[in-house]
Amino acid sequence: MFNKIHRVFHHSSPFKMSTQENPPGKILVEFSSPNIAKPFHMGHLRSTIIGNFVANLFEDFQHPVTRINYLGDWGTQFGLLKVGVDLLKIPDEELKSDPIKKLYQAYVAANEKAKEDEEIAAKAREIFSRMEMEDTDDLSKWNQYRDFTVNELRRVYSRLGVHFDQYDWESMYRRRNIEPVLNALREKGIISKESDGKEVTDVDGKKVTVVKSDGTTLYLARDIAAVLDRERKHNFSQLFYIVDNAQSDHFRALFHVTQKMGINRQLRHVKFGRIHGMSTRRGNIVFLEDILNEARAIMKEKQLKSPNTKVNLTDLSDRSSDILGISAVIVNDLKQKRQRDYAFDWNNALKVEGYTGIMLQYTHCRLFSLAEKAGVEADESLNPHILPQTLCQDILQEIDKFPRVLENTRDSLEACILVKYLFGLCSTVSRCLKTARVKHEPSNDLKRQRLLIFNTARSTLSRGMRILGLTPLDRM
């Protein structure tokens, strides 16, 4: 047990494999994946939180991981988008300053107008048709909308503590680019033409459309092409799609087709349930930033009222309220069973007491403060002769469980296993702090041993928090 504690204390993974014998395979994680000009809804938020956790987890196991954001940027809706921007006369500078909301307003305006005027929908189809024919002017505007959107998304993702190695676009796999893939499907007899001109594939006795009768491709065709493209570019061993339960049929069809094509990579749909009842105090949330702003505002109110707040909230560079709010939202999500729907409640998620993200941050801050005020340096290794006198054996037993907890979390991809463990670790630390003194302990030997154990608990907590996607605070 002492060796395991020592390993965790020094932040090295107990799962690190030799790079010469059985090196860990490359992992691709596709997550978040919003559509341009549409709201970043709760499904995207859950995908972002869970996908970031999955990527962090496999990185902790020493796998090379590539994080992919696959954005929806192709289809008739982009004709509607262009019509809406023209209708509202939105200048480029205004679009650039707040692209996600402005493009959404344009999209809504065009949709509303299309209900009363059939020519609007016809114009949108005409614009998209020109895009498919590589019309320079329309594609130029489309590229501009994409660039504005991604720059804004990067800013918001950064605030959430999420990054991507690669931004892919649905348009990368439009008809012109994937004709060789469609030809291969035809040659292998995987898709066949119906009497109405549609091209379909048989999935467990059910016909699934791949190409529409007018020759345009559906999402399934583009996903098939994306798998082949990623296999060629990345030579991955596993590809995880972090998408809600509602898309199960789509992924069943995708995996069926790719298997028939001879792709022997592990593809997995990591399903999750829906969040119900998530709205701000002013009304329904539409955008991710609304969620983050609401969480920050509530946490700042709590900090202002608390006599224990250690940070200067008037300092504009202080991000503690933001980090605490984001921690609360993330942990409230990840403590749920992944595939279950759940009802969101701001009061429960942001409670200062109880099993929340605030508990993890508070314990980390408390342990940081303990080390800062200890007045001694911690020992570098455990001394079994005075271990019983430390009164911290319960913490050591909790730390000893950590490698198995991570393995179980990896095997199930259930973050709630790790969250539950970290809650238990925090509770154990809190109990031990009541009896195992450090600063006022007269024996320096005991001081240094206890500080080693508490520091190891903090490094274990920090590592677990970072896997979940949290930024551990030293003060709050």
CA dihedral (105, 107, 108, 114) positive or negative: positive
pLDDT of 197 higher than 50? yes
The residue from 4, 6, 38, 401 that is catalytic is: 38
pLDDT of 41 higher than 80? no
Q: Nearest 5°: CA angle at 435, between 431 and 439?
A: 115
Q: Considering only the C-alpha atoms of the chain, give the largest distance between any 2 of them, rounded to a whole number of Å.
A: 89
Averaged over 390-415, what is the pLDDT? 95
Verify that 263 and 342 share a domain, yes or no.
no
Strands 279-280 and 283-284: antiparallel
pLDDT of 417 higher than 80? yes
Residue 465: predicted pLDDT:
98
Q: What percent of the chain has pLDDT over 70?
A: 92
Domain with 464 in it: 297-468
Identify whether 328 is part of a domain.
Answer: yes
The residue from 44, 198, 300, 364 that is catalytic is: 44
Query: Is 38 among the catalytic positions?
Result: yes
The DSSP output letter for 35 is B
> Mean of the per-residue pLDDT values for the chain?
89
Q: Which of 244, 276, 308 is the last residue of a domain?
A: 276
Averaged over 241-246, what is the pLDDT? 96
Verify that 320 and 451 share a domain, yes or no.
yes
> Are the beta carbons of 78 and 125 closer than 8 angstroms?
no
Residue 20: predicted pLDDT:
43
Q: How confident is the model at residue 12 (pLDDT cuts 50, 70, 90)?
A: very low
**Least confident residue range of 99-113, 128-142, 229-243, 319-333:** 128-142
pLDDT of 186 higher than 50? yes
Verify that 397 and 430 share a domain, yes or no.
yes
Verify that 103 and 152 share a domain, yes or no.
yes
We report the CATH number of the domain holding residue 446 as 1.10.730.10
Verify that 187 and 311 share a domain, yes or no.
no
The residue from 41, 63, 123, 198 that is catalytic is: 41
pTM for the full predicted model: 0.90
Averaged over 77-84, what is the pLDDT? 89
Domain count, the chain: 2
Query: Is 250 among the catalytic positions?
Result: no
CA dihedral (392, 380, 398, 387) positive or negative: negative
- Smallest CA-to-CA distance from 381 within 20, 6, 47, 122 is with 6
Residue 18: predicted pLDDT:
39
The DSSP output letter for 247 is G
Residue 129: predicted pLDDT:
80
Query: Is 44 among the catalytic positions?
Result: yes
Residues 6+ apart with CB under 8 A from 85: 95, 103, 106, 141
Verify that 226 and 100 share a domain, yes or no.
yes
CA 88 to CA 102: how far, in whole Å?
Answer: 10
Could you tell me which residue, 291 or 46, shows the higher pLDDT? 46
For 343, list phi and psi in degrees, rounded to 5: -95, 130
Averaged over 235-247, what is the pLDDT? 96
Residue 216: predicted pLDDT:
81
Q: Which of 247, 276, 305 is the last residue of a domain?
A: 276
pLDDT of 48 higher than 60? yes
Identify whether 282 is part of a domain.
Answer: no
For 115, list phi and psi in degrees, rounded to 5: -65, -30
**pLDDT for 335-391, tens place per residue?**
999 999 998 888 888 787 889 999 999 999 999 999 999 999 999 999 888 888 888
